[in-house]
Amino acid sequence: MLSFLSLDLASLRTTYAAGDISPVGIVVEVFSRIRARGQDNVWIALRDEREVMAEAEMAVARRATGENLPLYGVPFAVKDNIDVAGLPTTAACPAFSYLPTADAEVVRRLRSAGAIVIGKTNLDQFATGLVGVRSPYGAPSSVFNQDYISGGSSSGSAVAVAAGLVSFALGTDTAGSGRVPAAFNHIVGWKPTKGLLSTRGLVPACRSLDCVSVFTLNCADASVVRGVVAGFDPLDPYSRTAAEVGRMEFPAVFRFGVPRSSQLEFFGDVEAANLYAASIARLRALGGRPVEFDYAPFAATAALLYSGPWVAERLAAITPFADLHPEALHPVTAAIISGARGLSAVETFRAFYKLEELRRKAAAEWACMDVLLLPTTPTIYRHAEVAAEPVALNNRLGTYTNFVNLLDLSALAVPAGFRRDDLPLGVTLMAPAHGDGALLELGGRLHAALGGTLGGTTTRLADVSALSKLPDSRAPFHPAPAAPPTAVPLAVVGAHLTGQPLHHQLTSRGASLLRTTRTAPDYRLFALARTNPPKPGLVRSPGFTPTPDEGRPAGIEVEVWSLSTEAFGAFTGEVPPPLAIGNVVLADGSTVKGFVCEPAALEGSTEITAYGGWRAYVAGCGRV
């Protein structure tokens, strides 16, 4: 095994660029590491190694054609409540298992960008728990001590990253499931703004609160992944449109909130309190000014999560399965969810009213600060301790996490150092919705100030940081390849897209895919009347800007294909009116040839701009 090889993105990029190893070799290395760890309770399902190697070979071939792959050859893991085509989704309940035929939207985006799925990871059953032990597939442990819990519910995903088995992993986060395991394994856990990442293809816990989260070895990697997976999904009713997603930046001298000392609770863990104090000092050294705030409304909001109607939402997510198969549920999970059966609509509305009161009080506290700095957890527990008090200790771990999604905050868990017994703990930076980019930048600086190694590996953060400086979260993992000088890039928007009925007109002429991207924001899309096969019409409307109430993403999805000049000429001869080939402006400001439509053809057509693209419209309407 190549135990010296780090799987962080900067190291992988450098290794690939030097030609030292290929994505196929990385797949072999990853499976060797998984076998070497033995029965660690991390995985529920692994893909066939030969199948994964074939996918790696395909990534090499795709890149050779000039396709831009921001996550070229990057291995990743997926929590087993998120669909991966061809692998069963169990949510850690074998009787619930089903075989999805399509990837969850976040998985699809990652694979389109060149990332390679290794397998599905363990979790607290139905993502209910912060301990990582409520699973019939066993309980993973912290990579630093087998006697201590890994944290949950995204237990396997966090351990897979911390142990150096994959570059990053998808988890979920409703009450802290994407942050607590990060703290217990000395890695980064990004809990995005609700709706920033699609939850289509996710087995819900609390559908109105669920977020797909990301575990990485450092904040730069999380920023790269964010650039691939974030974005509007018109088929996810909880997805936020591009017009809703703002950009937040912290001032040079930023104010960070810390609770009053009387409101901090570490349950006797003095070393945890000292690590939190050290993080405050590091953040102050980075230009922050600590501001005391009243934590009471945040704590009261956290208490609502498991004492109000959101427990009923967990029951709603698995009904009628829970009624038909009560014996299939983990005893602790069953006890928690069954408590919702007695809740009334009156109690539900009272909880909604209480939440709005607490949101107003929390907003008043935000007026005096730009970002929050809290312990991720008050402490860490042994497996035996959790077994003796499964509910009480789990609740303690949510002291500083449970309120975040109820208050619509973004959050980022970063390492805070180690206790004297070599067990890690973490802190979490929090900001209002859409503060994700600012949190990742600040979190990267805070992590760098701590230094040390990445997760449970021997790779030092400082060595990785020296390999590459990403200017911002939108920077590509690899520079976008240009079309060959004798080729013509062509943007297709409808029936010529991959998988659509006229796609063969491209492939039969030797066309190769350069990238999937979007048009500039001022384009509109229409389903044309009386076309066979069905086709859309793309029209540019100068001054047109999508607005939140229209539910439109910024721009229309297109694929940019490369054709030889000879093939391009032959192709354009087949384009029937009212379509034509003209100039199309892309999201990055570049201009390529592409399909446009005569405005007169729009009479009797249906505007479908809100879908963000032809594929989403076809999927949403069931059209062929």
pLDDT digits (tens, 9 = 90+) for 375-403: 999 999 999 999 999 999 999 999 999 99
Q: Quick one: pLDDT at residue 487?
A: 77
For the record, the structure tokens of 524 come out as 């509109």
Percent of residues, the chain, with pLDDT higher than 70: 93
Cβ atoms within 10 Å of 468's Cβ, excluding its own: 15
Q: Could you tell me the fold of the domain covering 487-621?
A: Hypothetical upf0131 protein ytfp (3.10.490)
Residue bearing the bigger pLDDT, 317 or 623:
317
Burial class (CB in 10 A: 0-12, 13-18, 19+), 588: exposed
Q: CA torsion sign, 284 to 289 to 293 to 298?
A: negative
Reported residue count of the chain is 624
Report H helices in 494-594: 504-507, 565-572
Q: Which residues of 108-121 are buried (b: 16+ CB within 10 A; e: fewer)?
A: bbbbbbbbbbbbbb
Which residue spans of the chain are classified as CATH 3.90.1300.10? 9-236+247-303+350-467
- The yes-or-no verdict on residue 550 having pLDDT over 50 is no
Catalytic residue among 135, 142, 150, 153: 153
CATH number of 9-236+247-303+350-467: 3.90.1300.10
Cα 513 vs. chain centroid, distance in angstroms? 25
Model confidence at 25, in pLDDT bands (50, 70, 90)? very high
Render pLDDT for 277-286 as a digit per residue (tens, 0 to 9): 999 999 999 9
Render pLDDT for 188-247 as a digit per residue (tens, 0 to 9): 999 999 999 999 999 998 899 999 999 999 999 999 999 999 998 989 999 987 555 556
Render pLDDT for 45-55 as a digit per residue (tens, 0 to 9): 999 999 999 99
Q: Quick one: pLDDT at residue 565?
A: 83
- The yes-or-no verdict on residue 258 having pLDDT over 90 is yes
The number of C-alpha atoms within 13 Å of 467 and in the hemisphere containing its C-beta is 20
Strands 371-375 and 255-259 turn out to be parallel
* Lowest-pLDDT range of 263-272, 397-406, 416-425, 526-535: 526-535
- The yes-or-no verdict on residue 252 having pLDDT over 90 is no
Q: Quick one: pLDDT at residue 73?
A: 97
Q: How far apart are CA 122 and CA 158, in angstroms?
A: 10
Helix or strand run (H / E) with residue 590: none
153 is catalytic: yes
177 is catalytic: yes
Sheet with 409-418: strands ordered across: 43-46, 116-121, 75-79, 168-173, 211-216, 188-191, 409-418, 424-432, 371-375, 255-259, 289-293
Which residue spans of the chain are classified as CATH 3.10.490.10? 487-621
Catalytic residue among 79, 120, 194, 535: 79
Model confidence at 458, in pLDDT bands (50, 70, 90)? very high
Residue bearing the bigger pLDDT, 469 or 114:
114
- The yes-or-no verdict on residue 470 having pLDDT over 50 is no
Q: Quick one: pLDDT at residue 483?
A: 41
Strands 409-418 and 487-492 turn out to be unpaired
Render pLDDT for 472-506 as a digit per residue (tens, 0 to 9): 433 333 333 334 445 789 999 999 998 788 888 88
Q: How far apart are CA 217 and CA 186, in angstroms?
A: 8
**What is the rounded average pLDDT of the residues 274-303?**
96
Catalytic residue among 6, 112, 155, 177: 177
Q: How far apart are CA 255 and CA 364, in angstroms?
A: 15
- Are 365 and 293 spatial neighbours (Cβ–Cβ below 8 Å)? yes
**What is the rounded average pLDDT of the residues 335-361?**
85
Average confidence score pLDDT of the chain: 90
508 is catalytic: no
- The yes-or-no verdict on residue 546 having pLDDT over 70 is no
